[in-house]
Amino acid sequence: EVIMAKILSIMEVGELNDALAQAGLAVHVHLHDVCGGQYLSWEPIGADESDAAAVANAIEGFLAPRGFKPVFDLERSSFRLAQ
């Protein structure tokens, strides 16, 4: 049985960035494509230091209705999608 990695399209990442901006979070999500899948990271825009928990909650809220569940690193600054 072949298990396909869950991935976000570049368009979906753009929509996620728009949703974060609309939520008042000054961050930008970056898509990283690696062998066997992808991971995403976010960084503050400018000098704004957005709260990592608020950003993670907004990302989860954006992805959940689309059937995706993010798995964050310890700092909650990068994530992959659960299989």
pLDDT band at 36 (very low <50, low <70, confident <90, very high): confident
Average pLDDT score over residue span 23-43: 89
Contact 39, 32 (CB under 8 A): yes
Average pLDDT score over residue span 42-46: 86
pLDDT band at 7 (very low <50, low <70, confident <90, very high): confident
* pTM for the model: 0.86
- Give me the DSSP letters along 33-60: EETTEEEEEEEESTT----HHHHHHHHH
Q: What is the pLDDT of residue 4?
A: 59
Residue-wise pLDDT tens digits, 47-65:
666 688 899 999 999 999 9
